[in-house]
């Protein structure tokens, strides 16, 4: 078994909360941020 991300129960610790639906339509890159 390999744990890539153990996950969390705290939504404020989760990656990238967002409000654009459906998920995955906002594709970006940010080399300078």
Partner 1 sequence: MQFSFHTIVIPDYPNPGEYLLYNTRSQAMIKINDELKELIDHFDRPDYFYLRFRYAYEIVRLHKSGILSENQEEDLARLKGHMDQIKHSVDTRSFFVTILTTYACNFKCVYCFEESSRANEKMTMACAEQTMAWMKSQIIKLSYRSLYLNFYGGEPLLNQPVLEHIATAMKSWCESRGVEFKFMIQTNGYLLTPQLIERFLPLGLKQVRVSVDGVGEDHDKNRPLRGGGGTFDVIMNNIMASCDKVPIGLSVGFDKGDTGPIERLLSYCRDKGIIRKLGRFIFSPIHAGLGRRGEKENIQNTHCDCNYEDESLVEANRKIRALMTNYGLEIKSGMSTTICPLMRENSGVTVDQQGLIYKCNSMLGHPELSVGHVKDQEYNQQHLAFVHLDVYNQCPQGCVYLPMCSGGCRFSSFLRNKNFTTPVCYKKYLDTMAPEMIKQEYQARRSKILAEVS
Q: How far is the CB of 13 from partner 1 (least distance, A)?
A: 9
Q: How is residue 3 written in tokens?
A: 């744990």
Q: Which of residues 7-26 bind partner 1 (CB under 8 A)?
A: 7-12, 14-26
Contact 14, 7 (CB under 8 A): no
Question: Quick one: which of 12, 10, 16 has its CA closest to 28?
Answer: 16
Q: How far is the CB of 20 from partner 1 (least distance, A)?
A: 6
- Residues in contact with partner 1, counted by CB under 8 A, come to a total of 32
Judged by the rule CB under 8 A, the positions of this chain that interact with partner 1 are 1-12, 14-33
């Amino acid at each position: 078994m390999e744990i890539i991300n153990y996950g969390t129960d705290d939504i404020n610790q989760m990656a990238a909360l967002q409000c654009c639906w459906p998920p995955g339509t906002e594709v970006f890159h940010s080399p300078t941020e």
